[in-house]
C-alpha cells in the first residue's frame, strides 16, 4: 500500500471573504422598519407582483391564508401546502413546518438575488430616502 503523507503547501492559501451585498440606493434600512413600513401590503406584493399562488383572497381569523409553496403550486392536482402570515409576511411550509421570511420569499420566487436586495428595494419603495451612512455598526 502507498504511504499516506500530509500534503505540503508551497504557498499559504489566501482566505476569500464573502462578497458584500450591493446596495442599489446606498440607503440603509433594518428588517423591522421595512416590514413595519410595508404594513398590510405584504400579501398584495407577494401575490400580484412576485407570483405567489394562493387559494383564498384573505386571511382567516388568526391572520393566515392558505397558499402553495413555490415549486408545488399546481392548484388542479394538489391542496395548498403552505400558509402566509399577514402580520409579519412569513411563509410556512405545512409539510415540515419550516418558515421563511418575507424577504426570503422574494428571493425564492425569483424576484431578487438575495434578501438584502429585497429589503433595500422595499425600503426605497415604502420608506424613501434615508441617510447615506449607516447609524448602526452592522446593518444586516
Q: Check residue 114 and give its pLDDT.
A: 93
56 grid coordinates: 383564498
Distance (Å, whole) CA 19 – CA 63: 37
Q: Which of 18-22, 26-30, 83-87, 98-102 has the lowest mean pLDDT?
A: 18-22
Q: Ranked by mean pLDDT, which of 15-24, 35-44, 76-85 comes out on top?
A: 35-44
Cβ-contact 39, 88 below 8 angstroms: no
Distance (Å, whole) CA 89 – CA 40: 9
Average pLDDT over residues 104-111: 93
Q: Which residue has the higher pLDDT, 47 or 58?
A: 47
85 bridge partner residues = 64
61 grid coordinates: 381569523
User: pLDDT class for 111, splitting at 50, 70, 90?
Assistant: very high
Q: Check residue 70 and give its pLDDT.
A: 83
User: pLDDT class for 79, splitting at 50, 70, 90?
Assistant: confident
Q: Check residue 6 and give its pLDDT.
A: 60
Q: Check residue 55 and give its pLDDT.
A: 80
Distance (Å, whole) CA 135 – CA 30: 10
64 bridge partner residues = 85
Distance (Å, whole) CA 77 – CA 73: 9
Reduced to 3 states, what is the DSSP secondary structure of residue 46?
helix
Mean of all residue pLDDT scores within the chain: 80
Q: What sign has the CA pseudo-torsion 31, 34, 60, 57?
A: negative
Between helix 31-38 and helix 115-126 the angle, nearest 10°, is 50
Q: Measured between alpha carbons, how far apart are the two ends of the chain, in Å?
A: 52
Judge whether residue 1 has pLDDT over 80. Answer: no
Q: Which residue has the higher pLDDT, 37 or 76?
A: 37
pTM: 0.70
Amino acid at each position: 500500500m502507498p504511504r499516506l503523507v500530509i500534503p505540503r503547501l508551497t504557498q499559504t492559501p489566501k482566505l476569500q471573504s464573502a462578497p458584500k451585498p450591493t446596495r442599489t440606493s446606498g440607503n440603509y434600512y433594518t428588517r423591522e422598519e421595512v416590514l413595519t413600513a410595508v404594513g398590510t401590503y405584504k400579501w398584495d406584493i407577494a401575490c400580484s407582483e412576485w407570483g405567489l399562488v394562493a387559494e383564498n383572497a384573505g386571511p382567516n381569523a388568526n391572520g393566515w391564508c392558505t397558499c402553495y409553496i413555490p415549486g408545488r403550486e399546481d392548484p388542479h392536482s394538489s391542496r395548498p401546502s403552505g400558509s402566509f402570515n399577514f402580520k409579519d409576511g412569513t411563509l410556512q411550509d405545512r409539510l415540515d413546518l419550516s418558515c421563511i421570511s418575507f424577504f426570503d420569499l422574494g428571493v425564492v420566487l425569483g424576484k431578487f438575488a438575495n434578501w438584502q436586495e429585497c429589503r433595500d428595494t422595499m425600503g426605497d419603495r415604502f420608506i424613501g430616502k434615508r441617510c447615506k451612512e449607516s447609524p448602526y455598526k452592522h446593518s444586516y
